[in-house]
Amino acid sequence: MFPISYILFSVSSLSENKWHAIDNDGHLMNFAGYLIPAVLLVATGYVDCNAPVAVFLITTAVGISGISFAGWSCNHLDLAPPFAGEND
């Protein structure tokens, strides 16, 4: 989870180049970090006694849920921008 959240937190640097708005970073990461694991966990319910596929889906869901930490870590920018400080 940590490597995924660390890599995707660097997406915030794209907002410095005005590629997209900084307030959308957290929303996008939270959306992806909760939706993709939910879909994978639902898909796990449809696996018929195939243990390697079920383990793969659950492990991938837990790993991808690290994306939500990248959205959570920039939440202070949405709540109080004047008091957020430097976000390096």
pLDDT of residue 45: 93
What are 11-66's pLDDT values in tens digits? Answer: 555 555 566 666 677 777 788 888 999 999 999 999 988 999 999 999 999 988 88
Q: What residue spans define the domains of the chain?
A: 2-83
Residue/partner pairs of 69-73 with CB below 8 Å, 24 or more apart: 69/1, 69/5, 69/9, 69/33, 70/5, 70/8, 70/9, 70/11, 70/25, 70/29, 70/33, 71/25, 71/26, 71/27, 71/28, 71/29, 71/30, 71/31, 71/33, 72/26, 72/30, 73/5, 73/9
Over range 53-81, report the average pLDDT.
80
pTM over 0.85: no
pLDDT of residue 2: 60
